[in-house]
A and B are shown apart, each in its own frame.
Chain A
Amino acid sequence: MSQPTLVLAASVYETSAEFLDRAFGGSAPEPAVVWLSGERKSTVRQLLGHNYPALRVRYWCQNRRSAWVLDKIGKELPITVGVIVERDYIRSLKVLTYRENRGGEVATPAFTDQFDGVALQANGELDARIDGISGATLSVQALTRLASMALFLHNDTDCKDGS
């Protein structure tokens, strides 16, 4: 695992540009947006436990693979997570920026690798159990919920069908 860069007390593990390069082998497609309104907004609220703090979410899609950069507050500050979804499962989930004082263990591959290959069930839950980390319950919950959100949005866009 590479050493994070410290920027204003935030640990930056990967920039968005580096994340997109990794997701699409250096040739990221043009971004698209999905608007959170109506039923989609309601489902996202159920998955997160609250409204997503923006009305639209940017994503990148190519060959049934999509990349999402999402934020969710762990305890007090937002955690930025990059999720790569392929077909209907998570190919990779990585913490891009971690800002909380504690609970940074969720950024380790030992934790995030648990999401590899995980899909979303019809009831909105992940189809695999994600083991928690003591002392980082809220951060674990934030990552798990963002994983669900990315899977739902991927399935809700044309990207799933390769458009």
Chain B
Amino acid sequence: MRRLHRSLGAATAVFIIFMVLSGLAINHSNGLGLDQRHVSQTRVLDWYGLGGPENIRSFALGNDWLSFAGSQLYLNDKSVSGLSNGVGAVSSHGMLIAAGSEELLLLNHDGVLIERLPWGPPGAGPIESIGLLADGIVVVKSTGQLWLADADLLNWQRAEDSNVSSTWAFSEPAPGVLHDAITRQYRGDGLSLERVLLDLHSGRIFGPIGILVYDLLALAVGFLAVSGLIFWLRSRRNGKLNR
């Protein structure tokens, strides 16, 4: 039994050290920012089966690109906010304006959110496209009607002339480097370091076999505790007898 205790102790030492360290890290996950950090290693993302977005629609706004990937909005290669059903994006009065079918996001050029505007003038349907008039006024097309914003995008008015001259936002292929960076980010956004650590700690990252192996290792650790206690009690009793 003593030999088994020694062998199992040596065999499980690495496992125990890993469980202790990973457990400590999980306990302090928020403080360490593990829930905010995302995995970017391609192999790990492949292991989790996390694919890239089905398509990326990018809009060139001066020197910047606003891109929709899934329900995520990117300014250049930086993820800035969630926005479902991206329709288009324009730049006006120093603001970047990204339109989803149900809401608009106003951003500054650093990608900081100025305001999230739910779309919903009375009688308006979902946003179909967004554009600009010649004077920079933002115009939105919704169920065949045009809506004009004021300069601060506080109010919307239905355009009486549905033939107003406007330039509609259209998506363009983003530069390859940007496309790749967004794809990498998109995949990584779905997997936090905390998630990977939790799965490593529980063995789930290796599937059902991993859980089984962890169970066996946990039983081995339990055996070590019990056998260690028995040895200690025996040596204590032997010590008393020898005295």
Contact = CB atoms under 8 A, between A and B. Distances in A.
Interface stretch (B1-9, B111-119, B129-137, B173-181): B111-119
A57 B155 CA distance: 14
Contact of A33 (B118, B122, B152): B152
A110 interface: no
A55 B80 CA distance: 14
Interface in B144-184: 152, 154-155
B30 interface: no
A24 B115 CA distance: 23
A55 B113 contact: yes
Interface in B84-120: 108, 112-116, 118, 120
B116 A54 contact: yes
B225 to A, nearest CB: 36
A55 B120 contact: no
Q: How large is the interface on B (under 10, 10 to 19, 20 to 34, 35 or more residues)?
A: 10 to 19
Contacts of B112: 55
A54 B120 CA distance: 20
Contacts of B116: 54
25 contacts: A16-B118, A17-B120, A17-B122, A30-B154, A30-B155, A31-B154, A31-B155, A32-B154, A33-B115, A33-B152, A33-B154, A53-B113, A54-B113, A54-B114, A54-B115, A55-B108, A55-B112, A55-B113, A55-B114, A55-B115, A56-B114, A56-B115, A57-B115, A58-B115, A58-B154
Nearest to A69: B118
Contacts, number: 27
A58 B106 CA distance: 13
Contacts of B152: 33
Contacts of A32: 154
Interface of A: 16-17, 30-33, 53-58
Contacts of B118: 16
A32 B150 CA distance: 12
Nearest to A78: B116
The 5 A-B residue pairs with the shortest CB-CB distance in the complex, in nearest-first order:
A55-B114, A31-B154, A54-B113, A54-B115, A56-B115
A33 B117 CA distance: 12
A108 B139 CA distance: 40
Nearest to B105: A54
Contacts of A54: 113-116
Nearest to A31: B154
Contacts of A31: 154-155
A30 B152 CA distance: 12
B48 to A, nearest CB: 21
A57 B154 CA distance: 11
Contacts of B113: 53-55
A31 B122 CA distance: 15
B117 to A, nearest CB: 8
B30 to A, nearest CB: 12
Nearest to B114: A55
Contacts of B154: 30-33, 58
A74 B120 CA distance: 26
Nearest to A53: B113
Given A54-B113, A54-B115, A56-B115, 17 more contacts: A16-B118, A16-B120, A17-B120, A30-B154, A30-B155, A31-B154, A31-B155, A32-B154, A33-B115, A33-B152, A54-B116, A55-B112, A55-B113, A55-B114, A55-B115, A57-B115, A58-B154
A58 B114 CA distance: 11
A33 B116 CA distance: 13
A69 to B, nearest CB: 9
Contacts of B115: 33, 54-58
